[in-house]
Amino acid sequence: MTIRINGRKVELPDDVQTIHNLLNYYDLEDRIVIVEINQQITLKEQYSSLTLSDGDIVELIHFVGGG
Amino acid sequence: MTRRYSRQELFAPIGKEGQVKLQNAKVLIIGAGALGSASAEMLARAGIGNITIVDRDYVEWSNLQRQQLYTEEDAKKKLPKAIAAKMRLQQINSEIIINSLIADINGLNIEELIKGKSVIVDATDNFETRMVINDAAVKQNIPFIFAACVGSYGLTFPVIPGESPCLHCLLHHLPAQGMTCDTAGVISPAIQIVAGYQVTSVLKLLTGHKLTASVQSFDVWKNENAEINVSRLKKANCQTCGTEPAYPYLTFEYQTKTAVLCGRDAVQIRPGASRTLSLTDLSLSLRGLVSDLIVNPYLLSCSFENHRIVLFQDGRALIHGTNEPSKARSIYNRIIS
Protein backbone atom coordinates (compact mmCIF):
# COMPACT_ATOMS: atom_id res chain seq x y z
CA MET A 1 0.00 0.00 0.00
CA THR A 2 1.02 3.61 -0.45
CA ILE A 3 0.78 6.02 2.45
CA ARG A 4 2.19 9.44 3.21
CA ILE A 5 4.65 9.61 6.13
CA ASN A 6 5.91 12.97 7.35
CA GLY A 7 4.93 14.55 4.08
CA ARG A 8 6.52 11.93 1.82
CA LYS A 9 4.85 9.21 -0.24
CA VAL A 10 6.03 5.78 0.88
CA GLU A 11 5.32 2.41 -0.71
CA LEU A 12 5.08 -0.18 2.08
CA PRO A 13 5.71 -3.92 1.68
CA ASP A 14 2.62 -6.16 1.98
CA ASP A 15 3.54 -7.48 5.41
CA VAL A 16 3.30 -4.01 6.98
CA GLN A 17 -0.33 -3.85 8.11
CA THR A 18 -0.46 -2.42 11.63
CA ILE A 19 1.25 0.50 13.35
CA HIS A 20 3.33 -2.07 15.20
CA ASN A 21 4.53 -3.47 11.84
CA LEU A 22 5.28 0.06 10.67
CA LEU A 23 7.45 0.79 13.72
CA ASN A 24 9.30 -2.49 13.18
CA TYR A 25 9.82 -1.61 9.54
CA TYR A 26 11.50 1.66 10.56
CA ASP A 27 13.46 0.03 13.45
CA LEU A 28 11.57 2.15 15.97
CA GLU A 29 9.93 -0.64 18.00
CA ASP A 30 12.05 0.02 21.10
CA ARG A 31 11.86 3.77 20.87
CA ILE A 32 9.45 6.24 22.36
CA VAL A 33 7.28 7.41 19.49
CA ILE A 34 4.18 9.48 18.82
CA VAL A 35 2.05 8.37 15.88
CA GLU A 36 -0.79 10.29 14.27
CA ILE A 37 -2.95 8.79 11.54
CA ASN A 38 -5.19 11.08 9.50
CA GLN A 39 -4.86 13.73 12.22
CA GLN A 40 -5.91 11.30 14.97
CA ILE A 41 -3.26 10.66 17.59
CA THR A 42 -3.01 6.96 18.44
CA LEU A 43 -2.34 5.39 21.83
CA LYS A 44 0.28 2.73 22.43
CA GLU A 45 -2.39 0.12 23.24
CA GLN A 46 -3.74 0.49 19.69
CA TYR A 47 -0.45 -0.16 17.86
CA SER A 48 -1.09 -3.87 17.29
CA SER A 49 -4.78 -3.59 16.43
CA LEU A 50 -4.92 -0.45 14.28
CA THR A 51 -4.37 -1.27 10.63
CA LEU A 52 -3.17 1.12 8.01
CA SER A 53 -5.05 1.76 4.77
CA ASP A 54 -3.97 2.91 1.36
CA GLY A 55 -3.71 6.72 1.24
CA ASP A 56 -3.37 7.19 5.01
CA ILE A 57 -1.55 10.30 6.14
CA VAL A 58 0.84 9.41 8.93
CA GLU A 59 2.93 11.69 11.13
CA LEU A 60 5.59 9.77 13.00
CA ILE A 61 7.90 11.33 15.58
CA HIS A 62 10.47 9.51 17.68
CA PHE A 63 12.31 10.83 20.70
CA VAL A 64 16.09 11.14 20.79
CA GLY A 65 18.25 12.32 23.64
CA GLY A 66 21.17 14.21 22.16
CA GLY A 67 21.84 17.88 22.17
CA MET B 1 20.79 51.10 21.66
CA THR B 2 17.59 51.78 19.74
CA ARG B 3 19.23 50.82 16.45
CA ARG B 4 20.62 47.59 17.74
CA TYR B 5 17.24 45.83 17.78
CA SER B 6 15.58 47.88 15.02
CA ARG B 7 15.08 44.96 12.62
CA GLN B 8 13.52 42.85 15.33
CA GLU B 9 11.27 45.74 16.44
CA LEU B 10 10.15 46.21 12.84
CA PHE B 11 8.96 42.61 12.85
CA ALA B 12 5.28 43.25 13.68
CA PRO B 13 4.56 40.33 16.08
CA ILE B 14 7.40 41.56 18.32
CA GLY B 15 7.47 45.35 17.82
CA LYS B 16 8.93 47.90 20.26
CA GLU B 17 6.65 46.63 23.00
CA GLY B 18 7.85 43.06 22.54
CA GLN B 19 11.46 44.19 22.63
CA VAL B 20 10.91 45.72 26.08
CA LYS B 21 9.48 42.38 27.23
CA LEU B 22 12.57 40.58 25.94
CA GLN B 23 14.81 43.04 27.81
CA ASN B 24 12.91 42.32 31.02
CA ALA B 25 13.05 38.53 30.62
CA LYS B 26 15.24 36.09 32.51
CA VAL B 27 16.10 33.02 30.45
CA LEU B 28 17.84 29.95 31.81
CA ILE B 29 19.70 27.72 29.33
CA ILE B 30 20.58 24.30 30.73
CA GLY B 31 23.49 22.88 28.78
CA ALA B 32 26.14 24.76 26.79
CA GLY B 33 26.86 22.14 24.15
CA ALA B 34 25.63 22.41 20.57
CA LEU B 35 22.00 23.32 21.26
CA GLY B 36 22.93 25.60 24.15
CA SER B 37 25.55 27.46 22.08
CA ALA B 38 23.13 28.03 19.24
CA SER B 39 20.23 29.15 21.46
CA ALA B 40 22.39 31.32 23.67
CA GLU B 41 23.88 33.21 20.74
CA MET B 42 20.46 33.90 19.21
CA LEU B 43 18.96 34.94 22.55
CA ALA B 44 21.90 37.21 23.40
CA ARG B 45 21.70 38.90 19.99
CA ALA B 46 17.93 39.24 20.40
CA GLY B 47 18.50 41.28 23.56
CA ILE B 48 17.18 39.02 26.29
CA GLY B 49 18.05 41.14 29.33
CA ASN B 50 19.24 38.37 31.60
CA ILE B 51 20.61 35.01 30.45
CA THR B 52 21.94 32.26 32.69
CA ILE B 53 23.82 29.36 31.13
CA VAL B 54 24.73 26.22 33.05
CA ASP B 55 27.04 23.38 32.02
CA ARG B 56 29.16 20.70 33.70
CA ASP B 57 31.68 20.07 30.92
CA TYR B 58 34.76 21.63 29.31
CA VAL B 59 35.53 22.43 25.66
CA GLU B 60 37.06 19.61 23.57
CA TRP B 61 38.23 19.52 19.95
CA SER B 62 35.30 17.30 18.91
CA ASN B 63 32.93 20.11 20.00
CA LEU B 64 34.23 22.70 17.53
CA GLN B 65 32.46 21.24 14.48
CA ARG B 66 29.08 22.44 15.81
CA GLN B 67 29.33 24.22 19.18
CA GLN B 68 29.46 27.70 17.74
CA LEU B 69 30.49 29.70 20.79
CA TYR B 70 33.87 27.99 21.13
CA THR B 71 37.27 28.41 19.53
CA GLU B 72 40.44 26.33 19.19
CA GLU B 73 41.90 28.42 22.00
CA ASP B 74 39.09 27.32 24.35
CA ALA B 75 39.73 23.66 23.46
CA LYS B 76 43.49 24.04 23.98
CA LYS B 77 42.89 25.53 27.42
CA LYS B 78 40.14 22.98 28.20
CA LEU B 79 37.99 25.89 29.43
CA PRO B 80 34.73 25.01 31.15
CA LYS B 81 31.94 25.57 28.62
CA ALA B 82 30.04 27.82 31.01
CA ILE B 83 33.05 30.16 31.23
CA ALA B 84 33.93 30.14 27.53
CA ALA B 85 30.26 30.67 26.63
CA LYS B 86 29.88 33.65 28.95
CA MET B 87 33.00 35.32 27.53
CA ARG B 88 31.84 34.93 23.95
CA LEU B 89 28.24 35.96 24.69
CA GLN B 90 29.41 39.08 26.48
CA GLN B 91 31.50 39.98 23.41
CA ILE B 92 28.40 39.56 21.27
CA ASN B 93 26.23 41.70 23.55
CA SER B 94 27.76 43.73 26.36
CA GLU B 95 24.45 45.43 27.20
CA ILE B 96 22.80 42.38 28.75
CA ILE B 97 23.50 40.42 31.92
CA ILE B 98 25.01 36.99 31.39
CA ASN B 99 25.42 34.64 34.31
CA SER B 100 27.22 31.36 33.99
CA LEU B 101 27.49 28.42 36.29
CA ILE B 102 29.68 25.31 36.16
CA ALA B 103 27.34 22.73 37.64
CA ASP B 104 25.87 19.28 37.18
CA ILE B 105 22.10 19.67 37.34
CA ASN B 106 20.11 17.23 39.42
CA GLY B 107 16.80 17.01 41.22
CA LEU B 108 18.26 18.41 44.40
CA ASN B 109 19.85 21.59 43.04
CA ILE B 110 17.53 22.58 40.20
CA GLU B 111 14.74 24.26 42.14
CA GLU B 112 16.93 27.06 43.45
CA LEU B 113 18.38 27.61 39.99
CA ILE B 114 15.09 28.08 38.12
CA LYS B 115 13.45 30.37 40.70
CA GLY B 116 12.22 33.61 39.13
CA LYS B 117 13.13 32.63 35.56
CA SER B 118 10.75 33.51 32.71
CA VAL B 119 11.46 30.39 30.66
CA ILE B 120 13.86 27.43 30.62
CA VAL B 121 15.65 26.32 27.45
CA ASP B 122 16.52 22.62 27.34
CA ALA B 123 19.96 22.09 25.85
CA THR B 124 20.91 18.95 27.76
CA ASP B 125 22.12 15.69 26.27
CA ASN B 126 20.16 13.13 28.27
CA PHE B 127 16.61 12.16 29.23
CA GLU B 128 17.19 12.00 32.96
CA THR B 129 18.16 15.68 33.30
CA ARG B 130 15.23 16.61 31.08
CA MET B 131 12.82 14.79 33.40
CA VAL B 132 14.37 16.64 36.35
CA ILE B 133 13.88 19.99 34.57
CA ASN B 134 10.33 18.99 33.63
CA ASP B 135 9.39 18.25 37.24
CA ALA B 136 10.90 21.48 38.56
CA ALA B 137 9.43 23.60 35.74
CA VAL B 138 5.91 22.25 36.28
CA LYS B 139 6.24 22.62 40.06
CA GLN B 140 7.28 26.27 39.79
CA ASN B 141 4.96 27.01 36.87
CA ILE B 142 7.75 28.04 34.48
CA PRO B 143 7.53 27.19 30.77
CA PHE B 144 10.20 24.77 29.55
CA ILE B 145 11.13 24.31 25.89
CA PHE B 146 12.27 20.72 25.27
CA ALA B 147 14.59 20.04 22.33
CA ALA B 148 16.86 17.21 21.23
CA CYS B 149 18.96 16.31 18.24
CA VAL B 150 20.90 13.34 16.81
CA GLY B 151 22.31 12.80 13.31
CA SER B 152 20.30 14.98 10.93
CA TYR B 153 17.15 14.68 13.05
CA GLY B 154 15.74 16.87 15.77
CA LEU B 155 12.55 17.61 17.66
CA THR B 156 11.13 20.22 19.97
CA PHE B 157 8.13 20.61 22.25
CA PRO B 158 7.03 23.44 24.56
CA VAL B 159 5.93 22.40 28.06
CA ILE B 160 3.49 25.05 29.29
CA PRO B 161 2.54 24.18 32.88
CA GLY B 162 -1.21 24.11 33.44
CA GLU B 163 -1.93 23.98 29.70
CA SER B 164 0.05 21.46 27.68
CA PRO B 165 0.97 17.88 28.54
CA CYS B 166 4.37 17.74 30.23
CA LEU B 167 7.37 15.67 29.16
CA HIS B 168 6.42 13.01 31.71
CA CYS B 169 3.01 12.60 30.01
CA LEU B 170 4.81 11.89 26.72
CA LEU B 171 7.65 9.75 28.10
CA HIS B 172 6.22 7.42 30.72
CA HIS B 173 9.67 6.10 31.52
CA LEU B 174 13.27 6.75 30.56
CA PRO B 175 13.98 5.16 27.18
CA ALA B 176 15.82 1.84 27.45
CA GLN B 177 18.49 3.04 25.10
CA GLY B 178 18.90 6.26 23.21
CA MET B 179 21.27 7.22 20.49
CA THR B 180 23.59 10.05 21.44
CA CYS B 181 25.58 12.47 19.33
CA ASP B 182 28.70 10.54 20.33
CA THR B 183 27.34 7.20 19.13
CA ALA B 184 25.33 8.24 16.06
CA GLY B 185 27.03 11.54 15.17
CA VAL B 186 25.34 14.84 14.45
CA ILE B 187 25.57 17.53 11.80
CA SER B 188 25.45 21.19 12.64
CA PRO B 189 22.53 22.17 10.36
CA ALA B 190 20.29 19.87 12.42
CA ILE B 191 21.38 21.71 15.57
CA GLN B 192 20.72 25.10 13.98
CA ILE B 193 17.22 24.12 12.89
CA VAL B 194 16.14 22.69 16.22
CA ALA B 195 17.62 25.67 18.07
CA GLY B 196 15.83 27.92 15.59
CA TYR B 197 12.46 26.36 16.45
CA GLN B 198 13.31 26.49 20.14
CA VAL B 199 14.35 30.15 20.19
CA THR B 200 11.27 31.06 18.13
CA SER B 201 9.14 29.44 20.84
CA VAL B 202 10.99 31.48 23.48
CA LEU B 203 10.50 34.74 21.55
CA LYS B 204 6.81 34.00 21.02
CA LEU B 205 6.25 33.10 24.63
CA LEU B 206 8.08 36.13 26.03
CA THR B 207 6.26 38.54 23.74
CA GLY B 208 2.86 37.20 24.75
CA HIS B 209 2.02 34.84 21.91
CA LYS B 210 0.38 31.50 22.51
CA LEU B 211 2.25 28.28 21.78
CA THR B 212 0.40 25.20 20.57
CA ALA B 213 1.00 21.89 22.30
CA SER B 214 2.69 20.36 19.28
CA VAL B 215 5.74 18.17 18.97
CA GLN B 216 7.64 19.22 15.85
CA SER B 217 10.33 17.10 14.25
CA PHE B 218 12.43 17.22 11.10
CA ASP B 219 15.15 15.34 9.33
CA VAL B 220 17.14 17.90 7.37
CA TRP B 221 19.11 15.25 5.42
CA LYS B 222 16.00 13.39 4.28
CA ASN B 223 13.99 16.62 3.96
CA GLU B 224 11.15 15.38 6.17
CA ASN B 225 8.99 17.27 8.67
CA ALA B 226 6.32 16.23 11.11
CA GLU B 227 4.07 17.99 13.57
CA ILE B 228 1.66 16.34 16.00
CA ASN B 229 -0.67 18.13 18.37
CA VAL B 230 -0.34 16.16 21.60
CA SER B 231 -2.98 17.93 23.75
CA ARG B 232 -4.82 14.63 24.00
CA LEU B 233 -1.84 12.97 25.68
CA LYS B 234 -2.09 15.12 28.82
CA LYS B 235 -2.66 12.64 31.63
CA ALA B 236 -4.91 13.48 34.58
CA ASN B 237 -2.92 11.05 36.74
CA CYS B 238 0.54 12.21 35.58
CA GLN B 239 2.97 12.12 38.49
CA THR B 240 4.32 15.50 37.42
CA CYS B 241 1.45 17.59 36.04
CA GLY B 242 -1.58 15.55 37.15
CA THR B 243 -4.03 16.23 39.94
CA GLU B 244 -1.79 14.69 42.60
CA PRO B 245 1.75 15.51 41.57
CA ALA B 246 4.67 13.75 43.27
CA TYR B 247 7.51 15.29 41.17
CA PRO B 248 9.43 12.00 41.40
CA TYR B 249 12.55 13.24 39.62
CA LEU B 250 13.11 15.81 42.36
CA THR B 251 13.25 13.15 45.08
CA PHE B 252 16.45 11.71 46.44
CA GLU B 253 15.61 8.14 45.34
CA TYR B 254 15.41 9.17 41.68
CA GLN B 255 18.80 10.89 41.60
CA THR B 256 21.68 9.23 39.82
CA LYS B 257 24.10 8.34 42.60
CA THR B 258 27.81 8.57 42.07
CA ALA B 259 30.43 7.12 44.36
CA VAL B 260 34.16 7.63 44.03
CA LEU B 261 35.83 4.25 44.46
CA CYS B 262 38.68 5.01 46.79
CA GLY B 263 42.12 3.99 45.60
CA ARG B 264 40.81 2.75 42.27
CA ASP B 265 40.63 6.02 40.31
CA ALA B 266 37.08 5.15 39.32
CA VAL B 267 33.55 6.40 39.82
CA GLN B 268 30.46 4.23 40.13
CA ILE B 269 27.27 5.56 38.57
CA ARG B 270 23.92 4.21 39.65
CA PRO B 271 20.86 5.66 37.87
CA GLY B 272 17.99 6.58 40.18
CA ALA B 273 15.21 5.58 37.78
CA SER B 274 15.44 1.91 36.93
CA ARG B 275 16.05 0.94 33.34
CA THR B 276 16.90 -2.24 31.48
CA LEU B 277 19.52 -1.79 28.82
CA SER B 278 19.94 -4.00 25.82
CA LEU B 279 23.69 -4.56 26.03
CA THR B 280 23.79 -6.16 22.58
CA ASP B 281 22.05 -3.20 20.91
CA LEU B 282 24.23 -0.82 22.85
CA SER B 283 27.40 -2.62 21.76
CA LEU B 284 26.33 -2.27 18.11
CA SER B 285 25.87 1.47 18.47
CA LEU B 286 29.20 1.83 20.25
CA ARG B 287 31.23 0.12 17.54
CA GLY B 288 33.61 2.65 16.03
CA LEU B 289 33.39 4.91 19.07
CA VAL B 290 35.05 2.67 21.65
CA SER B 291 37.75 0.03 21.68
CA ASP B 292 38.32 -3.29 23.54
CA LEU B 293 34.57 -3.92 23.42
CA ILE B 294 33.47 -7.04 25.29
CA VAL B 295 29.83 -8.05 25.86
CA ASN B 296 28.53 -10.95 27.88
CA PRO B 297 25.00 -11.52 29.19
CA TYR B 298 25.76 -9.52 32.34
CA LEU B 299 27.93 -6.59 31.37
CA LEU B 300 29.54 -4.56 28.63
CA SER B 301 33.15 -3.45 28.95
CA CYS B 302 34.96 -1.02 26.67
CA SER B 303 37.58 1.72 26.49
CA PHE B 304 36.56 5.26 25.62
CA GLU B 305 39.01 8.20 25.57
CA ASN B 306 41.41 6.62 28.06
CA HIS B 307 38.58 5.53 30.34
CA ARG B 308 37.65 1.90 30.84
CA ILE B 309 33.90 1.63 31.22
CA VAL B 310 32.02 -1.32 32.65
CA LEU B 311 28.27 -1.14 32.21
CA PHE B 312 25.67 -3.44 33.73
CA GLN B 313 22.21 -4.25 32.37
CA ASP B 314 20.41 -2.18 35.01
CA GLY B 315 22.27 0.95 33.89
CA ARG B 316 24.89 0.89 36.64
CA ALA B 317 28.39 1.71 35.43
CA LEU B 318 31.98 1.94 36.56
CA ILE B 319 33.99 4.68 34.88
CA HIS B 320 37.70 4.16 35.40
CA GLY B 321 40.40 6.79 34.98
CA THR B 322 38.69 9.60 36.87
CA ASN B 323 37.69 10.43 40.42
CA GLU B 324 35.45 13.33 39.45
CA PRO B 325 31.74 12.40 39.60
CA SER B 326 30.67 15.12 37.13
CA LYS B 327 33.28 13.98 34.60
CA ALA B 328 32.09 10.38 35.01
CA ARG B 329 28.45 11.42 34.48
CA SER B 330 29.38 13.38 31.41
CA ILE B 331 31.14 10.34 29.91
CA TYR B 332 28.17 8.16 30.86
CA ASN B 333 25.69 10.43 29.04
CA ARG B 334 27.84 10.48 25.94
CA ILE B 335 27.25 6.74 25.70
CA ILE B 336 23.72 6.46 27.07
CA SER B 337 21.28 9.32 26.68
Q: Alpha carbon of B164 to those of B195, B241, B301: distances in Å? A: 20, 9, 41
The tally of CA atoms less than 13 A away on the side-chain side of residue B235 is 14
| Structural domains of chain B, count | 2
Residue A10: give the domain boundaries. Answer: 2-62
Residue A58, in any domain of the structure: yes
Does A30 sit within 8 Å of B226, measured CB to CB? no
Of B250, B268, B294, the residue at which a domain comes to its end is B250
Q: Which residues of A touch B127 (CB under 8 A)?
A: 63, 65
Of B169, B181, B238, B241, the active-site residue reads B181
**pLDDT at res. B174:** 74
With CA atoms as reference, report the closest residue to B289 among B179, B128, B153, B124: B179
Positive or negative: CA dihedral B61, A66, B306, B287: negative
From A46's Cα to the closest Cα of chain B, the distance in A is: 14
Report d(CA B260, CA B268) in Å as an integer: 6
List the CATH number of the domain containing A17: 3.10.20.30
> Checking DSSP bridges between strand B214-219 and strand B224-229, what pairing results, if any?
antiparallel
**Most A CBs within 10 Å: which of B171, B188, B232, B280, as the mutation test of the A interface?**
B232
Cα(B216)–Cα(B194) distance, integer angstroms: 9
Q: Searching chain A, which residue's CA lies closest to the CA of residue B277? A: A30
Asked if A66's CB is within 8 angstroms of B184's CB, the reply is yes
Question: Is B201 part of any domain?
Answer: yes
Q: A32 CA to chain B: closest CA distance, Å?
A: 7
B33 and B162 fall within a common domain: yes
Helical H segments across B106-155, by residue range: 110-114, 127-139
Contact (Cβ atoms closer than 8 angstroms) between residue B336 and residue B177: yes
Q: How many domains does chain A divide into?
A: 1
A26 belongs to a structural domain: yes
Strand, coil or helix: B271:
coil
> Cβ contact (<8 Å) for B215 and A60?
no
Give the domain CATH number at B114. 3.40.50.720
Structural domain containing residue B230: 6-250
Q: Chain B residues with CB inside 8 Å of A66's CB?
A: 125, 148-150, 178-181, 184, 186, 337
Render pLDDT for B64-99 as a digit per residue (tens, 0 to 9): 999 999 999 999 999 999 999 999 999 999 999 999
Q: What digits encode the pLDDT tens for the residues A10-31?
A: 999 999 999 999 999 999 988 8
- Which residue of chain B has the CA closest to A37? B228
Is B181 among the residues known to form the active site?
Answer: yes
* pLDDT recorded at residue A30: 83
Q: Are residues B262 and B115 in the same domain?
A: no
Contact B170, B157 (CB under 8 A): yes
- How long, in residues, is chain B? 337
Residues of chain A contacting residue B154, judged by C-beta atoms under 8 Å apart = 64
| B1: in domain | no
Complex-level ipTM beyond the 0.90 threshold: yes
Residue A67 lies in a domain: no
- How close B191 comes to chain A (CA, Å)? 8
pLDDT of residue B70: 98
Q: Which residue of A has its CA nearest to B63?
A: A67
Chain B residues in contact with A32 (beta carbon < 8 A):
170-171, 175
Strands, E assignment, B4-159: 26-30, 50-55, 97-102, 119-122, 144-150, 153-159
Q: Are residues B85 and B154 in the same domain?
A: yes
CB nearest to B224's CB, from A8, A30, A31: A8
Residues of chain B with pLDDT under 70: 1-2, 176-178
The pLDDT of residue B272: 82
pLDDT digits (tens, 9 = 90+) for A37-54: 999 999 889 999 999 999
Is residue B122 within 8 Å of A67, Cβ to Cβ? yes
Q: Are residues B230 and B271 in the same domain?
A: no
Residues of A in contact with B33 (CB under 8 A): 67
